[in-house]
Structure 1
């Protein structure tokens, strides 16, 4: 019985620790400026708590500050659209894509498009990583492609 209670307590603390938004606040998080994330290629590394495995040529996001255009790929189709950054929030609009069917990556791509369809808070962790938050929960993470 004691072992079961200990196991439940340990599991609960792990869950709460992994979801704690204060971890983000205590890191090197910075206010986002358009220059901090635009005109760079970012590899998609996390979508809705799922780690993304794959090459940056197949899982990336680019934000062009001159035209406010986005270019992305989440496994299969080329994605495009517009973005706007204001007060640490980013919104995406006019999202479109090519229409190839790729069975093994369609779920990831659909998840990414759903994330882009929301307005999200942007938090720059350092010059090589940023995240998108929805209701203080990390919904996407990106790392700078070198």
Structure 2
């Protein structure tokens, strides 16, 4: 006799614990990632010279970006403009999977970063911020005992 019901356990897509944990903190800590629809992805890398922060900003002009360092925080904000849907140069949207709007990402700077030497470059839709170490704070010194 054939079985009419599936007796195998249900298969669910399991989200990694880190993704669930990050989602929890992103939802409960407003102000660190704010916007109205568009939120650029951010990657942070550490090199021997410092940190590199990369934000994915497709279609965002450098004139639409503001980068601010204040009180130990680095804030990157801007806007990704939606296509014009009214007026003379209007387009008819048939399908839209991209997000548009204003955004703001805020990052706490480690004390070892030299905030006066931060550099930014926007190339191919990726904003690369170089955050060099402050050599006065990262230099290892031996202290002689007298």
State the TM-score, normalized to the length of structure 2. Answer: 0.28
| Larger Rg, first or second structure (1 or 2) | 2
Kindly indicate which of the two structures has a greater share of residues assigned to helix: 1
